[in-house]
Structures are given as structure tokens and as C-alpha cells.
Amino acid sequence: MKPRPVQSDDDGEPTDWPGFKEVSDYLTRQLASRRLAPRTCLTYGRSLKGFALWMQSNGGWDGDWSRLSARNLRDFVIERQQTHQRTSVHNQVSALRAFLADLRERGGITSTPAAGLVLPKLPRSLPKFLTEPQTEALLEADSLEEQTPTAEARDQAVLELLYGGGLRVSELCGIMGGDLDLATGLVRLMGKGSKERVVPVGETALAAVRTYLALRGSPGRGEPLLLAPRGGPMHPRAVQLMLKRKLAAAGLPADLTPHKLRHACATHLLANGADLRLVQEQLGHASLSTTQIYTHLTVAKLREVHRKAHPRA
């Protein structure tokens, strides 16, 4: 089946801005090849549209990507840094770099003007996460709303899988029948960039899944493991809303997201002696440096314990 062309706007705005066709073709290919997730494609589309409109308003650019220069990009970044957060600027430039590199590979341009673009370093902030007692309180909390036994069992399985395996929400919602081996405790996941990995989720999560499947029935190999109330796979938004209800029941901050359970998994593994590279494999990080941020959290905890317990601290 031929992929449907990507429309980078979802707000009803016209799609005849300069350079739109090349951007639409690029995002359509990325979606078809599963190199980019749908949400990432939408974000890239908005970033590229923003740049195209900026180019048009600063010299009447006609959408010819071969006419871009390194100076155009430098001026864009300088202006954006005055009005946007650094993270936003980095994301926009990342979209430009990826798009222009693809355009060069396909012969649309002869050079990549973004190649030598230098951006200020982003501050590395420590991720928020749940402490072990907070995680325990969340997982043991009773629902504040009346639910069917099947829905309660499913929600418990969702939380246990997120924490037990350090899963991304998209990975969790994408688990199909046959991906989780209840005998070995391993689950096959499709991560970022369509990279597949197999990780353990722990006996507690497996027990929660068994309880849920005993009520809903075992899914076929092509069916979602976790079902939405009306059938079909659970949506990440549904997981977020469910977590907010559970946080309220446990008396925990409402701004904690499902991704914080992934952070909690990594932090608790390292705090209890897990090898850094094994945690990298568990989380599916492409670079070890991404995983190393969690060592700052465990070192901070060690420093606190040392200060309280050591006689000469």
C-alpha cells in the first residue's frame, strides 16, 4: 500500500508554504520506513515549516532548498536563541540537519549548510524519578474510582511493566501477543528508530500480567497485549491519565509521568549494584553517555549517606 503523504500541519493551515513538497516527501519516507515515529514526524514538520516561513519573511525565499547557505542557518539560530529556549532551538536544528542530509543523499542539494553549525551546549538536568518508597506506594495504591476487575488488573500490569522493564510508554502500548514470554520473563520491544531489543521485566510484573490475562483471555500473536476499554491497543494518553489517578490515590505529585517510572527503574537498578552497560541494554539507549546521567543520582545518594554515616564526613 502506498504511504499517505504526510501533512506537517494538523491545525487546518494551508500547506503551500515554501519548500513544503520536499518536506512532505521526506516525512512520508521516514514514516514508511519507520525511521521516525509519527509524533517525531509531526514535530519535525513543524520545525521545518517554521524555518521555511522564517526564510520567506527574511528575503522572500521561494522554497528552493539548494539556495540555502550556512549564513542563513546561523542567522536563524541567532534569532531563535533570543526568543526560544535552548532545547527548542536544538530540536529545530536537529530537524533541519536530518532533512538537509537526506536531501543531499537524494541529489536535491549538493552540500549540507548545517554541517558546520555550532550550537551552545544544553545544560544536563537530572531526571525526576520516584524513590523506592514512592514507587512502592504507587504500585500498592487502590484505585479511587470503581472499575471492573479486568480494568484494575490491566492498570496494575501496565504500572508493573513500566517499572519492571524500564519501558517507554510507546513500547508498552506496542506489545503484542507473543512478544512477552511468560515462561522466561522476557519481552520483545520495538524501540526508537525501529530498533528491537529483548529485556526482562521481573516476576512481579509477570504475575500482574498473568492475573490480567486470566480475566481477559490470552491474546493471539497479532493482537495487543493490553486492551483499551473498547478494544484495540491502549493509547499512551490513556496510560498517562490512568497514572494521574493512581498518583492521586497514592498521595504523590500529580506532575509525575509514565516516563518517570522508566527513570525510577534505571536509578533503582544502579543504586542496587547493577552494571551500567546492562542498564543501557535494558533501557535501549544508543549511547552509554545517556545512561550515565543516572549515575549522578546514585552518586548524590551515596554522598548523602556518607555525610550522615561516616565519622569524619
Of 35, 86, 104, 259, the active-site residue reads: 259
What the block records as the C-alpha cell of 259 is: 516516563
Is there a catalytic annotation at residue 39?
A: no
Catalytic residue among 104, 192, 216, 301: 192
Rounded distance between C-alpha atoms, residue 282 and residue 199, angstroms: 6
Rg (CA), the chain: 23
Residue 148, Cβ density class (10 Å: 0-12 exposed, 13-18 middle, ≥19 buried): exposed
pLDDT of res. 20? 92
Nearest to 114 by CA among 72, 144, 78, 86: 72
Predicted local confidence at residue 241, as pLDDT: 93
To the query of whether residue 285 is one of the catalytic residues in this protein, the response is yes
Strand order in the sheet with 196-200: 180-181, 186-190, 196-200
Domains present along the chain, CATH in parentheses: 20-105 (1.10.150), 132-309 (1.10.443.10)
Chain centroid to Cα 285, Å, comes to 11
Residue 65 DSSP class: G
Distance of CA 72 to the CA centre of its chain: 31
216 included as an active-site residue: no
Given 49, 80, 246, 262, the catalytic residue: 262
Which residues sit opposite 227 in a β-bridge? 233
Give the model confidence (pLDDT) of 104-150 as tens digits.
988 888 888 887 777 767 666 555 678 889 999 999 998 878 889 99
Is 168 annotated as catalytic?
A: yes
Q: What is the C-alpha to C-alpha distance for residues 89 and 107, in angstroms, rounded to an integer?
A: 27
Q: Which stretches of the chain drop beneath a pLDDT of 50?
A: 1-13
- Three-state secondary structure call for residue 106: coil
Q: What's residue 224's pLDDT?
A: 93
The pLDDT score that the predictor gives to residue 130 is 83
From the candidates 154, 168, 260, 268, which is the catalytic residue? 168
Distance from C-alpha of 94 to C-alpha of 86, rounded to nearest angstrom:
12
Q: How many CB atoms lie under 10 A from the CB of residue 241?
A: 11
